[in-house]
Amino acid sequence: MKRTSGARLCATAAIGALSLSLLTGCSDEGSKDSVDAKTSASASASTSSSDPAAKALTSAELEKLLLAQGEAKGFKVDSGDDTLPKSKTQVKTDKPACDPLAWATAALPPGDTTANASNSVSEDKASTATAVPEDLEAAFDIDLTFVGLSSYEGDGAAQAMKAVSDGITACAAGYGLSADSENTKVVKVAAEKASGTGDESLAFTEDVDMDGAGTATFHSEVVRKGNTLATFYTVNFAAFEKGGDMGDIPAALITAQVAKLK
C-alpha cells in the first residue's frame, strides 16, 4: 500500500534521523516486501591486521578527514553532528554480537574507541535539475548516506572489522534494536559484495520490519584503511515511501571518502 502524507512528513524528518529505529518509527502504513539481500562474500583482497604500533587519530583529526563540500562531484555534504547519536549507549540491541552492526548503521564506531566523527552525504540533484519535481515522491528520490569515521590503537581496527564480520553471521536470523525509545525488529542480516576499497572491506544488508507490514532492505558497508574505519549506511526516501530496497551505497562516495583516509 502507498504511504499517506503523514508518513511522507515522517520521511522528511527522517532526513535528519540517526538509525533504523527512527526511520521505521515514522511508518504509519504498510510497505512492500523487501528485495532479497545479496549473499556474496564481502572482503577485500587484503585482510592483514592493522599496524600493532598504530596510534589512534583524535576526533578532531577525523573531522578533517570527512568529505567536505566540493570534494565529491555530484554529492552534497552536510554535518551530521546534530542529528546522529552522540553515544553508543543511545543505540541498543537484544544480542551483544549485533551491537557492531547497529553502531555501524548509526555512524558510530563498531569497535572499542571513542575517537569518531560523522556527517551525511546526499546526491546533489539541485545543481542538475531542469524542472521542479512533479510530486513529493520525485523530490524524495535522493540517496542519503550516513558516513562515520573511527580510529583505533594497535590492531583495534582489525578487531572491529572482525566484530562486524562475526555479527553478520551471528545475527543472520535478526535482532531487536532500540534507539531514542523507538523499537525496531531486524528480521534478517546477510553479507553482500563489498566495494573492495581500503585494506579491508565488508558489506551487509538488513531486512527491517515495517511495523508488521512487510520489510525494507537497508545497505551498510565498513571499510578499513590502516587503523581507521569508515562506515556507510544509505537510505533512499522515495524507496522508503514504497518499501522494498532502500538503494545501494554510491560507489563513487565510498571511493572519495576512503581516498581521504591516512
What residues pair up with 118 in beta bridges, in sequence order?
148
Alpha-carbon span 18 to 16, nearest angstrom: 7
pTM of the full structure: 0.79
Alpha-carbon span 53 to 66, nearest angstrom: 24
Q: Is the pLDDT of residue 28 over 50?
A: no
What does the pLDDT read at residue 90?
87
What does the pLDDT read at residue 158?
97
Q: Is the pLDDT of residue 232 over 90?
A: yes
Length, in residues, of the chain: 262
Task: Please give the mean pLDDT across all residues of the chain.
Answer: 78
Q: Which three cell numbers stand for residue 70?
A: 566540493
Q: SS3 of 63, please?
A: helix
The full set of domain ranges for the chain reads 5-259
Strands 244-245 and 215-225: parallel
**Close Cβ partners of 136 (under 8 Å, ≥ 6 residues apart):** 8
Please report, in angstroms and rounded to a whole number, the separation of the first and last CA atoms in the chain: 47
Q: Which three cell numbers stand for residue 54?
A: 598504530
Which of the four pLDDT bands, split at 50, 70 and 90, describes residue 2? very low
Q: Is the separation of the CB atoms in 207 and 220 below 8 Å?
A: no
What residues pair up with 243 in beta bridges, in sequence order?
32
Q: What is the CA radius of gyration of the chain?
A: 17
Tens-place pLDDT, residues 156-208: 999 999 999 999 999 999 999 988 777 889 999 999 999 999 999 999 999 99
| Least-confidence region, from 79-83, 114-118, 241-245 | 79-83
Tens-place pLDDT, residues 34-58: 333 333 333 433 344 556 667 999 9
Select the highest-mean-pLDDT range: 27-36, 74-83, 127-136. Answer: 74-83
Strands 228-236 and 215-225: antiparallel
User: Pick the residue with more confidence: 186 or 12?
Assistant: 186
What does the pLDDT read at residue 137?
57
